[in-house]
């Protein structure tokens, strides 16, 4: 901005800031013992200098006006302190975060496809004023599972229940098994021998006694046996691992 001064070279340019140095001949100076007839000339010169300076100051003020009236590209604040009482309003999405607008910064932090989980609310994230973004519920009612190489992100699969057609038969009987003597429960068999010629009875009958143990006839044929396994009709198992409910949102735009 170029400002034209009414007095580019004011009279005061010839004055010295040290009073005693203004001793040049009148009217610019006021030497010691100057003639009485020249005093009025020096005073008039001083008054004119004051007026010229005042008009130059007014010209500058009128040309500058307020910052809002100035060319925005020509206003540069390079230092100083802005008082706390001064309110500085930045336009939404003006460059202010390391060269990024607010929208660009939000997009950098939350690109489309980002998923966030909320444990404090079921509502979608609210973008700051001036930022355009859309969030939608993600994975409703499903447990999250990390993918393996080659799997599809966002695919919904599986169920919280087993297949209801769960009827099955394990196949009739178990294998044939012959029990050994050691496998039988502990037991005894009483053996009574009846013979003739024994002493002690009128009829000549009695209990035979012998020092050698008398073994009973063998019982049981040692046949194998089976255990029947029943079949199971259609049924279903429900499983629910320990879980916590959170609201998952994916940015879609």
Q: Is the pLDDT of residue 200 over 50?
A: no
Last residue of a domain, one of 25, 59, 74: 74
Confidence (pLDDT) at 72: 60
139 and 251 housed in the same domain: yes
155 and 38 housed in the same domain: no
Query: What's the token pair of residue 70?
Result: 């100035």
Query: Does 95 reside within a domain?
Result: no
Last residue of a domain, one of 74, 109, 127: 74
203-244: pLDDT as tens digits: 444 555 555 566 666 666 767 767 777 777 888 877 766 666
Arithmetic mean of pLDDT, 109-128: 90
Query: Does 202 reside within a domain?
Result: no
Confidence (pLDDT) at 239: 74
pTM, full prediction: 0.39
- Higher-pLDDT residue of 88 and 139 is 139
Most confident of 28-32, 156-160, 179-183: 28-32
Maximum Cα interatomic distance, the chain, rounded to a whole number of Å = 196
46 and 148 housed in the same domain: no
Query: How far does CA 153 lie from the centroid of its chain?
Result: 18
151 and 249 housed in the same domain: yes
118's enclosing H/E stretch is: strand 115-118
| Structural domain count, the chain | 2
Confidence (pLDDT) at 251: 85
70 and 117 housed in the same domain: no
- Give the domain range for residue 250: 100-162+245-253
Query: Does 252 reside within a domain?
Result: yes
155 and 47 housed in the same domain: no
Q: Is the pLDDT of residue 3 over 80?
A: no
- HEC string for 168-219: ECCCCECCCECCCHHHCCCCCCCCCCEEECCCCCCCCEEECCCCCCCCCCCC
152 and 253 housed in the same domain: yes
19-45: pLDDT as tens digits: 888 899 998 889 999 999 999 998 999
Kindly provide the b/e burial profile for residues 71-81, where b requires at least 16 CB atoms within 10 angstroms of the residue's own CB: eeeeeeeeeee
Arithmetic mean of pLDDT, 85-99: 69
Query: Does 240 reside within a domain?
Result: no
For 56-60, 146-150, 194-198, 238-242, which range has the lowest pLDDT when averaged over its residues?
194-198
Confidence (pLDDT) at 131: 92
């Amino acid at each position: 901005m170029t400002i034209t001064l009414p007095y580019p070279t004011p009279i005061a340019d010839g004055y010295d800031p040290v009073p005693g140095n203004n001793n040049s001949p009148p009217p610019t100076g006021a030497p010691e013992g100057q003639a009485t007839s020249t005093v009025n000339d020096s005073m008039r010169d001083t008054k004119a200098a004051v007026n010229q300076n005042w008009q130059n100051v007014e010209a500058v003020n009128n040309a500058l006006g307020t910052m809002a009236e100035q060319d925005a590209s020509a206003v540069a604040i390079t230092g100083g302190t802005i008082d706390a009482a001064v309110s500085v309003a930045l336009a939404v999405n003006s460059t202010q975060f390391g060269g990024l607008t607010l929208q660009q910064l939000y997009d950098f932090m939350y690109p489309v496809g980002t998923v966030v989980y909320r444990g404090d609310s079921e509502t979608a994230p609210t973008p700051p004023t001036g930022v355009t973004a859309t969030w939608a519920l993600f994975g409703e009612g499903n447990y999250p599972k990390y993918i393996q190489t080659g799997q599809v992100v966002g695919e919904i699969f599986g169920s919280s229940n087993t297949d209801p057609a769960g009827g099955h038969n394990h196949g009739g009987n178990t294998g044939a098994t012959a029990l050994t003597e050691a496998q039988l429960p502990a037991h005894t068999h009483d053996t009574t021998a009846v013979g003739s010629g024994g002493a002690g009875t009128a009829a000549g009958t009695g209990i035979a006694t012998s020092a050698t143990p008398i073994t009973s006839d063998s019982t049981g044929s040692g046949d194998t046996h089976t255990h029947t396994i029943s079949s199971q009709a259609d049924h279903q198992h429900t499983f629910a691992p320990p879980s916590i409910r959170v609201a998952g949102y994916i940015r879609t735009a």
